[in-house]
Structure 1
């Protein structure tokens, strides 16, 4: 006798069902949906419990909506400051590029020589005056040298290097004065020498020295003295009378008075356009001191003009 196993209830599928597989699909979908929901629910429960465990160690402020809003505002402020710093850095880079491009129109060899000359001025320290005068005698001072000094001064100002600013500003003014002195007319060179004689205290003694220098500089104002050199004896002279070779270098008193008066008129017109500052901030105080110094110089030039106008040569 052959024993046959009875079929399992779960596997009891009719022949019609076996021959039509599409009938199994609804049951499979239902089982899959049920299992998926159970799995998703268990995952959510585990996730919630793990988050609650993680939040247990945080400070109480974390649960405060107002505190979180403040933190978001701080984050926005930090990002804003970072953006401002980046913009400021980009602006400085553009300015440095602009400073570096100022001398592109000059020959590179001349630019290198000018930079070497300015570096020698800086290294000269206490002997800078002699070095500047030596360079002026050789004809090495020009606009390009001033441009190199100005570029260094501009960079020092942007980097807020106060010591370098003071030193370079003085160097620029000194070189500019030397260039102007070399290019100035005889009248302006004499005026500069007369102003330098002032010690800042003794006004009467200064005017006496200026009178003596004027008498030594201006020629005698009679026609004969202007035409012939000093010591000329007309009774012993024979032949054609010629002008002395140094006649072109002679500075007449009338020329000095005319140029100094024109300079004063120009300076007065510029001064009338300037507005006096009344503030107490450092910039306003510095401007007032400059105006006072300029006014003192104008008074000195006016005194020299009166002295030259009344001088009897």
Structure 2
């Protein structure tokens, strides 16, 4: 039996890239193939694709320029804030260094005294006068009050500023009163007698106080001492020794006139603020208050010049 050989023929199947990739994709899924391919949209210039999730303005040159300008302004503002903070810290350090030259014990006593003034509330006037009589009101006390006032101003504590400012003025006035000459003490007392309304009644009270304070200057009182009986020609002929605290009218007139000239010269140098902000209004009110005080002092001076017993 003759064996027949049948040639094995294979017909090549055409493989296209699409069929190949699809069959391989179905049979052997690649782990590196993303589930969602990124969408790319070409720019109008067809140079750079837009990434998904970013605004279109990101690729706008003008928008980017504005963003860079905003960033620059932000950095500048932060730098200014840092500089302001550093300046405040330096100011606080300077305030704290003001008292370094004073003994710690004296500073502690001054702070304790000021705390007692603050707690005294309505009785603060009596407390201040009592401290002045004991000699406790010094430059250090004023310095401690000023330091607290300075800190309150930097922290913008309006109520504290007002209270400390009044306390500083009152303590300063008491110190000046104790250190003032008899003429300035009398002037201060006369001004404090004014109630702000009755000018004529105030002038009458001032005249009475002057008559009681100044020694008589008429020729008879000078030639005939106190206690001498002119009818019997009996009594001491020796003039009494002048006391250290005797205030002559001429000395009072001279000191008050010098004070007025000095104050008026300062007022002429100050320019009145014309703005409507709080600082300008406060400055104008302060100048008006000074002008009223000057008019009162002028009235006192005129009364002393023309005083008759």
User: Residues 159-206 of structure 1: CA distance to partner in whole angstroms, max 9, x if unpaired?
Assistant: 111111111111111100000000011110110111011111111111
Q: Is the 8 A contact 2:274 2:280 kept in 1?
A: yes
Q: Determine if the alignment matches structure 1 residue 257 to structure 2 residue 257.
A: no
Match of 1:36 in 2: none
Equivalent in the alignment of 2:111: 115
Q: What is aligned with 2:6? A: none
Distance 1:232 1:116, change over 3 A: farther
Residue equivalent to 2:162: 166
Deviation per CA, 1:94-121, whole angstroms, max 9, x where unpaired?
A: 0111111111111111111111111111
CA distance in 2, matches of 1:134, 1:51: 89
Following TM superposition, by how much is the alpha carbon of 1:222 offset from its aligned partner in structure 2, in angstroms? 4.8
TM-score, length of structure 1 as denominator length? 0.76
State the secondary structure of the residue aligned to 2:281.
helix
Residue aligning to 2:181: 185
Residue 136 of structure 1 contacts residue 179 of structure 1 at CA under 8 Å; is this kept in 2? yes
The correspondence of residues 79-228 of structure 1 with structure 2, limited to 5 A, is 79-222=75-218
Do the aligned residues in 2 keep the contact of 1:219 with 1:226 (CA within 8 Å)?
A: no
Runs of 4+ in structure 1 displaced over 4 angstroms? Answer: 49-52, 222-238
CA distance in 2, matches of 1:183, 1:305: 22
Paired position in structure 1 for 2:3: none
Change (3 A) 1:221 1:83: same
List gaps (5 residues or longer) in structure 1: 1-44
TM-score with structure 2 setting the length: 0.77
Aligned equivalents of 1:177 and 1:225: distance in 2? 37
For 1:142 and 1:227, the matched residues in 2 are separated by: 45
Change (3 A) 1:78 1:106: same
Residues 197 and 90 of structure 1, relative CA distance in 2, 3 Å threshold: same
Q: CA deviation at 1:211?
A: 0.7
Change in 2 beyond 3 A, CA 1:301/1:92: same
- Matches of 1:50 and 1:109 in 2, distance apart? 78
The aligned runs of 1:262-273 (5 Å cut-off) are: 262-273=258-269
2:243 match: secondary structure: helix
Q: How many residues align?
A: 265
**8 Å contact 1:187–1:251 — kept in the other structure?**
yes
Sort the Cα spacing of 1:228 and 1:196 in 2 relative to 1 into closer, same or farther, 3 A: farther
Q: Deviations over 1:212-238 (max 9, x none)?
A: 111111122257857998546696658
For structure 2, the residue ranges without an aligned partner over 5 or more in a row are: 1-32, 41-49
Cα distance in 2 for residues equivalent to 1:66 and 1:242: 101
Aligned-residue CA RMSD (Å): 2.8
What is the CA–CA distance in structure 2 between the aligned matches of 1:90 and 1:121, rounded to whole Å?
Answer: 33
Over residues 50-100 of structure 1, what are the superposed CA-to-partner deviations in whole Å (9 max), with x where a residue is unaligned? Answer: 796x94234444444433333333222222211111111111000111111
